[in-house]
Amino acid sequence: MMDEGYTIEPLKIGGREFSSRLLVGTGKGVAYPLMRECIEASGAEIVTVAIRRIPTDEKPGEMLVDYLKGLTLLPNTALCFTAKDAVLTARLAREALDTNWVKLEVIGDPQTLFPDNEQLLEAARELVKDDFVVLPYCIDDPIICRKLEDIGCAAVMPLAAPIGSGLGIRNTTNLQIIVEQASVPVIVDAGVGTASDAALAMELGAAAVLMQTAIYGAREPVKMAHAMRHAIAAGHLAYHAGRIPRKLYATASSPLEGVVGS
């Protein structure tokens, strides 16, 4: 991705490179033509697909996958509450979509949709052994992220806030620690509400951001998709540019020497 002469470094995951650092979901019941328009406006190259939610009664040419041509599909294990179900769903996705990539979700609570750490780690171990490229959705806990990386996950995907909440990043400190300690890409997943949330995630050093509700739930989804695209680029550039230190008091922007006396 280019921005007025500045190059946004490619996102590298599992031996592959992507020019966009924004990942987009395909749920929320949005009409397929609008969904595709939003994805194109966002510049996203990777889109998530919930295997358990793919309709089976659609006509050829009007199926979900027909509107996702040319994109990298990242099947996820949404609605799985045990490691066993998540592993089975991942294997079904590999057969159906011909990909060994998976966004691993093992939910522990149906109200908050927070992950079940124990079941997530168990499923990750089994899928990594089965040669999957595993991108796990996890709590914003540096310890869990480190354990997932040690297992062999290709990235970690800590939440910013509960799924679909739009609350933005609730714990910037944890996210900074995760970014600092991780040697795999950190993809902020869930809870983003607007462009400033996405920019903040990137300014904190995240490698990418995944979102869905923030775009499709906006009053003008395509316009929000454009905003998110620019926010990701701005945040990434700002992180690598290096912000000035925070200070309690003012610092004059012009030198005080040579000022004309009154």
The full set of domains in the chain, from first to last, is 2-241 (3.20.20.70)
Q: What is the structure's pLDDT at 182?
A: 97
CA atoms within 13 A on the CB side of 169: 24
Tell me, yes or no, if 223 is annotated catalytic.
Answer: no
| Residue 41 parent element (H or E) | helix 32-42
Q: CA 131 to CA 154: how far, in whole Å?
A: 11
Percent of the chain residues past pLDDT 70, beyond the cut = 92
Q: Kindly name the residue from 12, 103, 223, 247 that is annotated as catalytic.
A: 103
> How high is the pLDDT of residue 170?
93
Q: How high is the pLDDT of residue 259?
A: 67
C-alpha–C-alpha distance, residues 207 and 52, integer Å: 28
pTM of the full predicted structure? 0.91
Residue 58, Cβ neighbours under 10 Å: how many?
Answer: 13
Nearest CA to 145 out of 109, 166, 176 is that of 176
Low-confidence ranges of the chain (pLDDT < 70): 1-6, 52-58, 61, 255-256, 258-259, 261-262
User: Which pair of structure tokens corresponds to residue 65?
Assistant: 């996958």
What does the pLDDT look like over 73-114, one tens digit per residue? 999 999 999 999 999 999 999 999 999 999 999 999 999 999
Query: CA torsion, points 153, 26, 112, 192, in degrees to nearest 10?
Result: 80
